[in-house]
Structure 1
Amino acid sequence: MPNVVTILLQDRKMDQRRNITLNVDNNENIAELMKNVEKLTNIPSEELEVVFCGKKLAKSTFMKDLSLTPATQIMFLRPKNLVQLTNSKFDSNNKITDTSILGSFYVWCKKCDDVQRGKLRVYCQNCASTSVLVKSEPQNWVDVLKSKRIQVTCENCFAPGLFADFKFKCLKCNDLAAALTHVRGNWQMTECCVCDGKDKVVIDLGCNHIICQNCFKEYLLSTLEEFRFTNRPPYGFTTSCVYPGCNRVVKDVHHFHIMGQSSYSEYQRKATERLISIDDEGVTCPNAACGQSFFWEPYDDDGRSQCPDCFFTFCRKCTERECTCQSDDDLTKITIDATTRRCPRCNAATERNGGCAHIHCTSCGMDWCFKCVTEWKEECQWDHWFN
């Protein structure tokens, strides 16, 4: 099926520049496209270099591998001195191999509400033009996910000291999407470590404990139910690999979209509440009809806070509307102090209503002994099992 593309021809040899509109077939390769441009411009195809998404394309690259859209722009350069063409991509180990980088990524698309194949696009950081040429190939995920990593030359604005602005798009709907660095194609048809299935698209945290999307979703939902996500800076509240004993973690919370939008929103809310509960300036509204969590920065105030959601004003220490901190009759505080013990890491009040003395803190994730009030050890299991 033919596609209409715009060719930006930059003739540095003659110091000329012009735009050409062409109908191209998906089954054509770059060599055939160069021949068509040669017929229109009388410029020998041997003197042309083809640049797309910031990289020079090999003549063997097929148009169907470029994920063309109606707004696609391909740049043809006629340099003063010819440069050897290169063609490269990331493989599963973030190394460079000799195939097209396009269409080899997976993204979370909000419009499709699903995991989709993605495409990487590069723009000029200054003018957002696609007529750019990267000065060096990205070597890993950091190079495309972090800003100011790869320098470019822009054929549109020619500003000095420019950097690439990389963006991912959904291959299905062409909307901007979030890259999923742990999702990849199951090219070896490895079995899921949970259900033994062999899905075409799997999650791999880098430990080769492959898990299919359905099992990963169920694992996340069960983790969310009791909120067993733990705070792992710099990734935030995340979870480890499903395989027992593996300490690899999910490094990007965009992967949690796989749970579904409502569950993802619940995860965000609970993660915020947990973060605030372990932060010195975190406050949770004690109003039973509210429960909003927020940060409060005290500046020599009277120790009282006002909820920005329901406007309930309360004492941050005793959480009462009328402060009872100086009263000996605060039965609620007396009861809490008498029936709970504090987590040795985050100081969260914890009540034990049965079972062994092994406590898993839902605020910070620490495993500790209710009898010793210290980190859980093997000795605790034998010494306090029935206490």
Structure 2
Amino acid sequence: MSFIINAFKNFLHRMFQILSFGKKSISNSLSIYVKIIGGNTITVDLDPTWDIKNVKEIVAPKLGLEPDEVKIIFAGKELGDEIKIEECDLGQQSILHAVKITRKIIKLPQESSSSLIEENDDQSSQPLSKTLDDSMFSYDDSSGSGGNMEREMLNSQNSLHNSKVHFYIFCPTCKAMKSGKIRVRCHFCKSGAFTVHSDPQNWNDVLRPKQITGTCENSSDICANILNNREPTFAEFYFKCSEHTSMGEQDEAVPLDLIRPNLREIPCLACADVRDPVLVFPCSAGHVTCLDCFRQYCITKLMERQFWQHPELGYTLACPAGCTDSFIKEIHHFRLLTDAQYALYQRFGTEEFVLRSGGVLCPQPGCGMGILIDPGCNKIACVNGCGYVFCRLCLQGYHIGECQSNENENNTNEEGCIYNVDPNRALVARWDEASRVTIKVSTKPCPKCRTPTERDGGCMHMICTRAGCAFHWCWVCQSAWTRDCMGNHWFG
């Protein structure tokens, strides 16, 4: 009896082998969701070593189509048949969009009216993550021709270094800074079945709405009305964390656009070390600091309560080199602090907002409740906090009559800031001027006022041209001009 059972098992095993002949085996399964126009979603297991043609062969039968009648859209691009799945920056439970190819009949410019051909509207291309280079991280004025030569030079340098450009995000799920992935959807209907007409060239194209146009494959009423009104459809870029399993299209992260891979090997503004990644301040010089020094800069300013309450940007900081218009706009960059430090940052920011709004903080130790009060009211009660009743003018217990003077009220903490910026380093730690090495040779700061001074020839006796300074100094010694300088190296 057992012989018959074993023979039957062998027969079934051979039948399964015959039925599976010709099919690709999966050595490393990648579970992917494929969305179909109409709202249906199917789950497929793919091997990262497969190409998009294999994906079409799996998806097409489920749509009742042939593989060459299907196009696969991911991250704003239609993927070509020869592209490997592992090149697409896919993670577990990522979403692909399968769309039926529409064919256009085009009449050739010939005398015969029967000369007609069919043309597919698909344009195979590389994934968006492979088409963005280092120019994405700067050159906001990409329309100018002055940056073209520098951009080409940087691109050639990148190809030599074979470095991969990464995005950095703050992930609400991981609650930390992580590497991120850029994704695209329709600005109007939020469908991911969307292909862009051109790649973004700078952060403005990504962060600002309605910068890049594209084609939406979704047949929703919203996009149909837009097409009927002959309005362009725009792309909406967003980011996802690349270090945890995707939780759907609503799983988004905050882009940290100031944190960038240090492909140009620029030294830090404070410590002069070359680190990766770095933070580039949004000033005209693009000063660069490593993340450790940025944390120290934030902690120092936080302990001294030297953050700036910006009317539009909130509680933020500017470039430590003193550059104008250099405030950090995305406050999630301060999530690089520890949880306790970020909680203190939020507390101080709230308190500063209350004070600038005409309110007061409860002076009772351990409370600090922010209280908004009516103008002219001097008797304040911490109703929702500790219940302490105090005088608005002197912040002491409420009293009748004039306030007593406090001798210590004008005392301030005058300890030096442990985050220091050397002006010499500030000249080097610039993002968009990393390739300009001449400034390190032909420019030195005045020893008195630190104003950069350029020497284009002549003797070593320098006179600062800044108004109110006029300091006489030696180019070699970088100190006050003396007779020794005159005798030893007046002419070098």
1:295 matched to 2:372? The reply is: yes
Are residues 61 and 202 of structure 1, via their aligned partners in 2, closer, same or farther at CA, if it must alter by over 3 Å? Answer: farther
Distance 2:165 2:300 in 1: 32
Task: Give yes or no for contact 1:186–1:199 (8 Å, CA) kept in 2.
Answer: yes
Deviations 1:258-311 (A, max 9, x none): 1211111111211222232233x2221133442222434x3x885544433223
**Equivalent of 1:220, from 279, 288, 298?**
298
What is the percentage of aligned positions where both structures have the same residue? 26
**Equivalent of 1:330, from 403, 406, 409?**
403
Amino acid at match of 1:43: E
Q: State the Cα distance separating 1:183 from its structure 2 match.
A: 0.7
Give the structure 2 partner of residue 51 of structure 1: 73
Give the structure 2 partner of residue 3 of structure 1: 30
Task: Give yes or no for contact 2:393–2:403 (8 Å, CA) kept in 1.
Answer: no
Which stretch of the first structure deviates more once superposed, 191-200 or 162-171? Answer: 162-171
**Equivalent of 1:229, from 286, 307, 322?**
307
Deviations 1:13-54 (A, max 9, x none): xxx996554332223343553465567755353x54321134
Amino acid at match of 1:159: I
1:257 matched to 2:322? The reply is: no
Give the structure 2 partner of residue 282 of structure 1: 359
Are residues 264 and 198 of structure 1, via their aligned partners in 2, closer, same or farther at CA, if it must alter by over 3 Å? Answer: same
Amino acid at match of 2:305: F
Give the structure 1 partner of residue 222 of structure 2: 159
Give the structure 2 partner of residue 73 of structure 1: 95
Task: Give yes or no for contact 1:109–1:177 (8 Å, CA) kept in 2.
Answer: yes
Give the structure 1 partner of residue 257 of structure 2: 181
Question: SS at the partner of 1:159?
Answer: helix
Amino acid at match of 1:223: K
Are residues 239 and 19 of structure 1, via their aligned partners in 2, closer, same or farther at CA, if it must alter by over 3 Å? Answer: closer
Are residues 294 and 107 of structure 1, via their aligned partners in 2, closer, same or farther at CA, if it must alter by over 3 Å? Answer: farther
Distance 1:52 1:148 in 2: 20
Give the structure 1 partner of residue 239 of structure 2: 168
Deviations 1:137-194 (A, max 9, x none): 6565455446677777362754345876654222112464321111111223333333
Distance 2:343 2:389 in 1: 27
Task: Give yes or no for contact 2:278–2:288 (8 Å, CA) kept in 1.
Answer: yes
Distance 2:322 2:56 in 1: 55
**Equivalent of 1:269, from 336, 343, 347?**
347
Amino acid at match of 1:106: Y
Question: SS at the partner of 1:251?
Answer: coil
Give the structure 2 partner of residue 310 of structure 1: 386
Distance 2:44 2:32 in 1: 6
Distance 1:294 1:153 in 2: 50
Task: Give yes or no for contact 1:109–1:178 (8 Å, CA) kept in 2.
Answer: yes
Question: SS at the partner of 2:270?
Answer: coil
More strand by share: 1
Are residues 54 and 305 of structure 1, via their aligned partners in 2, closer, same or farther at CA, if it must alter by over 3 Å? Answer: farther
Q: State the Cα distance separating 1:117 from its structure 2 match.
A: 0.4
Q: State the Cα distance separating 1:128 from its structure 2 match.
A: 6.1
Question: SS at the partner of 2:46?
Answer: strand
Deviations 1:307-333 (A, max 9, x none): 332233445345455453xx2x432xx
**Equivalent of 1:121, from 176, 180, 183?**
183
Give the structure 2 partner of residue 192 of structure 1: 268
Distance 2:379 2:239 in 1: 46
Are residues 236 and 75 of structure 1, via their aligned partners in 2, closer, same or farther at CA, if it must alter by over 3 Å? Answer: same
Distance 1:126 1:251 in 2: 26
Q: What is the total number of aligned residue pairs between the two structures?
A: 329
Deviations 1:237-263 (A, max 9, x none): 322334x34443322221111121111
Q: 1:117-156 counterparts in 2 under 5 A?
A: 117-122=179-184, 130-133=192-195, 140-142=202-204, 144-145=206-207, 153=216, 155=218
Question: SS at the partner of 1:75?
Answer: strand
Give the structure 2 partner of residue 373 of structure 1: none
Give the structure 2 partner of residue 205 of structure 1: 281
Q: State the Cα distance separating 1:233 from its structure 2 match.
A: 4.1
Give the structure 2 partner of residue 107 of structure 1: 169
Task: Give yes or no for contact 2:171–2:177 (8 Å, CA) kept in 1.
Answer: yes
Deviations 1:109-146 (A, max 9, x none): 34444321012334567876544456776565455446
Task: Give yes or no for contact 1:131–1:156 (8 Å, CA) kept in 2.
Answer: no
Q: Aligned Cα RMSD in Å?
A: 4.2
Which stretch of the first structure deviates more once superposed, 89-98 or 66-75? Answer: 89-98
The normalised TM-score by structure 1 is 0.67
Are residues 112 and 353 of structure 1, via their aligned partners in 2, closer, same or farther at CA, if it must alter by over 3 Å? Answer: closer
Are residues 136 and 230 of structure 1, via their aligned partners in 2, closer, same or farther at CA, if it must alter by over 3 Å? Answer: same
Amino acid at match of 2:242: L
Task: Give yes or no for contact 2:165–2:261 (8 Å, CA) kept in 1.
Answer: no
Give the structure 1 partner of residue 137 of structure 2: 92
Task: Give yes or no for contact 1:51–1:75 (8 Å, CA) kept in 2.
Answer: yes
Distance 2:56 2:252 in 1: 30
Question: SS at the partner of 2:351?
Answer: helix
Task: Give yes or no for contact 1:122–1:130 (8 Å, CA) kept in 2.
Answer: yes
Amino acid at match of 1:330: C
Task: Give yes or no for contact 2:35–2:42 (8 Å, CA) kept in 1.
Answer: yes
Q: State the Cα distance separating 1:61 from its structure 2 match.
A: 4.3
Distance 2:414 2:317 in 1: 27
Question: SS at the partner of 2:334?
Answer: helix
Distance 1:194 1:353 in 2: 23
Distance 1:8 1:268 in 2: 40
More helix by share: 2
